[in-house]
A = this chain, B = another copy of it.
Amino acid sequence: MPSYTAPIKDTQFILHNVLKISEKAIPGYDELDADFTNAVLEEAGKISSEVLHPLNTVGDTEGCRLENGVVYTPTGFKAAFEQVKEGGWTGLDMPEQYGGQNMPYIMGTAVGEMFSAANQAFTMYQGLTHGAASAILAHGSDAQKDTYLPKMVSCEWTGTMNLTEPHCGTDLGLMRTKAEPQDDGSYKITGQKIFISSGDHDMADNIIHLVLAKIPGGPDGIKGVSLFIVPKFIVKEDGSLGDRNGVSVGKIEEKMGIHGNSTCVMNYDSATGYLLGTEHKGMRAMFTMMNEARLGVGMQGLAQAEAAYQNALEYAKDRLQGRDVTGVKNPDGPADPLIVHPDIRRNLMDQKSFAEGARAFILWGAKMIDQAHRAEDKDADGLISLLTPVIKGFLTDQGYDMTVQAQQIYGGHGYIEEWGMSQYTRDARIAMIYEGANGVQALDLVGRKLAQDGGKHVMAFFEMVKNFCKENGDISESYSKEFIEPLKAASKDLQAAGMYFMQNGMTNPNNALSGSYDFMHMFGHVCLGLMWAEMAKAAQAELDAGSSDAAFYETKIATGRYYMARQLPATALHLSRIQTGGDTVMALAADQF
């Protein structure tokens, strides 16, 4: 059985030493001093380790089951969900007005990593609800907010997102679900939606489905899509639950992983729905959920990698196999622990340097969201919009790879289900797919976000990296050589790739789009490089100030050195691929394959 310990010290280091959040002029941040955040994280860590994580294997093994139209979650999920609700965790960063705790998004993110790492399938019930509530908060009428938000913030009612249909995933313009206007202002929704996470279950009194559908007579394609609130049980005027609505579960999908989450086929048969936001502007409203969900999914990549890493590390320290080539390390034992072997180290350092870098990246992104929403900082809004596909695509690809590497440390024990390492890999796999497959993230990044607002945000990013390098170039010779120079080189590669797209993408967009995936990955590496440069700087400052916890900060710097030396140079390979253009990629006609 794997174990999980919340990375509180690392998170605190990022929040306070790197991002220095309580010094930032963002409303709500002044309350986030180190003691306060530590208390929140300690409590969240406890729930993660003691309540959610023990149910992770249970959820994987039992899965959800559909009986007579009712979905049952795995043993223990319901009681655990009650505990999470009672602790107020579901409304951590939601407005007080609706029963939330009004903490900044960055705190929701820090806690969210822990919950996800402990039990991804479980945490999705809450995560989808948060997304749906955010959409209602942003686009709902006051009456809709009053009706749904208090119950959704507390997770007495949970939420879902209904986009995909059997014949359309990414291309939502092909959607067939219909919404026919009724005399009372409501709509009758009819159609089938698939892959609906948390689509139905036994842990909430009501489920609020947000459903994309087309109002007949509206514009063709994606421009004619509207968003509707479709409750499982109709909510009466007094707030009590009325009749069962015309929505039912067709089946639960058998999946590679996240078995504890009910992924449903949902059938809407003249179900009563209420327009959320404006007619035909459903995609805009849906993107409120989707952007948040994409950050949340990027976080899942980190979370699964972190959880898998923790276990791989323990195994590498415990398992005795072979001897250190440079000299026996465990002379009293029959063999040395795996961790003495250089290739095991390489593997562990890959994981460690990824997880810590990714955590900084995610929290930095969450801070930008707070800047945008709480301080109306348009630059932060633009930058996080640019970085959202990078966070989603890069962190889930890399996070998945890290779960595979963690599994590898166990040898054959990683392949059997008994040790739990297969589950991390199987659960992490979905994050590369849902909320927009990573190829779509790359397309969003290169095809849309790069040029957004005249390319202003990507320019600002480069400017920021440049300034960081300039301002910190003379901290020390070693810092300059080990951190600043590699960061400069990687950032230069990224700029060269952007330049290549500008010069060659106009004449043939395939020259840009063929390199979009590589670009997303190199962008991710530059972000993690920047994070490591920031973290090493912050750690060095603590050492220079004579910290009594020198080992922690020295480890941080050594881990950063590894990332800069071994991982960041991947940008050069990505650039070289990008610069070969679209010709070799598009050379074959479809029937030549």
Which residues of A pack against B, CB within 8 Å?
164, 167-171, 173-174, 194-195, 253-257, 263, 313, 317, 320-322, 325-326, 334-335, 337, 339-349, 352, 400, 404, 407-408, 411-412, 414-418, 422, 425-426, 429-430, 432-434, 437-439, 442-443, 447, 508-510, 513-514, 516-517, 551, 554-555, 558-559, 561-562, 565-566, 569-570, 572-573, 576-577, 580, 582, 584-588, 590, 592-593
* A8 vs chain B, min Cβ distance (A): 16
A254-B416, A566-B584 known, 5 other contacts, Cβ within 8 Å: A164-B412, A174-B334, A554-B592, A561-B587, A566-B577
* A354 vs chain B, min Cβ distance (A): 14
Compute how far the CA of A335 lies from the CA of B173 in the bound complex, rounded to whole angstroms: 9
A171 is contacted by which of B256, B335, B443 (Cβ under 8 Å)? B335
Compute how far the CA of A349 lies from the CA of B352 in the bound complex, rounded to whole angstroms: 32
Compute how far the CA of A466 lies from the CA of B43 in the bound complex, rounded to whole angstroms: 63
Q: Is the CB of B587 within 8 A of A562?
A: yes
Compute how far the CA of A95 lies from the CA of B353 in the bound complex, rounded to whole angstroms: 53
Question: Using Cβ atoms and an 8 Å threshold, which residues of chain B touch A566?
Answer: 577, 580, 584-585
Q: Give the nearest-CB partner of A337 in chain B.
A: B590
User: If the complex has contacts A412-B195, A433-B412, A513-B342, are A347 and B439 also in contact, measured as CB distance less than 8 A?
Assistant: yes
Q: Is the CB of B565 within 8 A of A584?
A: yes
Q: Give the nearest-CB partner of A343 in chain B.
A: B439
Minimum-distance CB pairs A-B, first 7: A342-B513, A256-B422, A558-B587, A343-B439, A254-B417, A171-B321, A573-B573
Q: Is the CB of A569 within 8 A of B576?
A: yes
Q: Is the CB of B584 within 8 A of A343?
A: no
User: If the complex has contacts A170-B321, A443-B343, A585-B345, are A593 and B422 also in contact, measured as CB distance less than 8 A?
Assistant: no
Q: Is the CB of A437 within 8 A of B417?
A: no
* A341 vs chain B, min Cβ distance (A): 7
Q: Is the CB of A584 within 8 A of B558?
A: yes
A429 is contacted by which of B255, B415, B554, B593 (Cβ under 8 Å)? B415
Q: Is the CB of A342 within 8 A of B580?
A: no
26 A-B pairs in the complex with CB atoms less than 8 angstroms apart = A169-B321, A174-B320, A174-B335, A253-B417, A256-B415, A256-B416, A256-B425, A256-B426, A313-B593, A326-B508, A326-B510, A342-B585, A343-B513, A404-B429, A408-B437, A411-B433, A415-B430, A425-B429, A426-B426, A551-B592, A554-B592, A555-B592, A558-B587, A565-B580, A566-B585, A570-B573
Q: Is the CB of B585 within 8 A of A561?
A: no
Compute how far the CA of A566 lies from the CA of B514 in the bound complex, rounded to whole angstroms: 11
Q: Is the CB of B412 within 8 A of A321?
A: no
* A570 vs chain B, min Cβ distance (A): 6
* A104 vs chain B, min Cβ distance (A): 31
What is the copy number of this chain in the assembly?
2
* A353 vs chain B, min Cβ distance (A): 9
Q: Is the CB of A346 within 8 A of B585?
A: yes
Compute how far the CA of A572 lies from the CA of B493 in the bound complex, rounded to whole angstroms: 15
Question: Using Cβ atoms and an 8 Å threshold, which residues of chain B touch A167?
Answer: 320
* A177 vs chain B, min Cβ distance (A): 15
Compute how far the CA of A408 lies from the CA of B256 in the bound complex, rounded to whole angstroms: 13
Compute how far the CA of A434 lies from the CA of B588 in the bound complex, rounded to whole angstroms: 37
User: If the complex has contacts A255-B416, A343-B513, A412-B164, are A569 and B558 also in contact, measured as CB distance less than 8 A?
Assistant: no
* A434 vs chain B, min Cβ distance (A): 7
**Best-buried of A169, A422, A590 by chain B (most CB within 10 Å):** A590
Question: Using Cβ atoms and an 8 Å threshold, which residues of chain B touch A586?
Answer: 342, 345
Q: Is the CB of A442 within 8 A of B321?
A: no
Question: Using Cβ atoms and an 8 Å threshold, which residues of chain B touch A562?
Answer: 584-585, 587
A412 is contacted by which of B434, B514, B554 (Cβ under 8 Å)? B434
User: If the complex has contacts A566-B580, A586-B345, are A171 and B415 also in contact, measured as CB distance less than 8 A?
Assistant: no
A593 is contacted by which of B194, B256, B348 (Cβ under 8 Å)? B348
Compute how far the CA of A352 lies from the CA of B587 in the bound complex, rounded to whole angstroms: 13
* A119 vs chain B, min Cβ distance (A): 18
A343 is contacted by which of B415, B442, B587 (Cβ under 8 Å)? B442
Question: Using Cβ atoms and an 8 Å threshold, which residues of chain B touch A442?
Answer: 343
User: If the complex has contacts A254-B418, A343-B516, are A576 and B572 also in contact, measured as CB distance less than 8 A?
Assistant: yes
Q: Is the CB of B437 within 8 A of A342?
A: no
Compute how far the CA of A562 lies from the CA of B514 in the bound complex, rounded to whole angstroms: 12
* A404 vs chain B, min Cβ distance (A): 8
* A9 vs chain B, min Cβ distance (A): 13
Compute how far the CA of A513 lies from the CA of B323 in the bound complex, rounded to whole angstroms: 13
Q: Is the CB of A514 within 8 A of B326?
A: no
Question: Using Cβ atoms and an 8 Å threshold, which residues of chain B touch A561?
Answer: 584, 587
Question: Using Cβ atoms and an 8 Å threshold, which residues of chain B touch A335?
Answer: 171, 173-174
* A574 vs chain B, min Cβ distance (A): 9
Question: Using Cβ atoms and an 8 Å threshold, which residues of chain B touch A263?
Answer: 416
User: If the complex has contacts A321-B170, A417-B254, A590-B317, are A342 and B430 also in contact, measured as CB distance less than 8 A?
Assistant: no
Q: Give the nearest-CB partner of A339 in chain B.
A: B590
Compute how far the CA of A313 lies from the CA of B588 in the bound complex, rounded to whole angstroms: 13
User: If the complex has contacts A254-B416, A408-B439, are A577 and B569 also in contact, measured as CB distance less than 8 A?
Assistant: yes
Question: Using Cβ atoms and an 8 Å threshold, which residues of chain B touch A514?
Answer: 342-343, 345-346
* A337 vs chain B, min Cβ distance (A): 7
User: If the complex has contacts A418-B253, A551-B592, are A412 and B345 also in contact, measured as CB distance less than 8 A?
Assistant: no
* A300 vs chain B, min Cβ distance (A): 14
* A375 vs chain B, min Cβ distance (A): 36
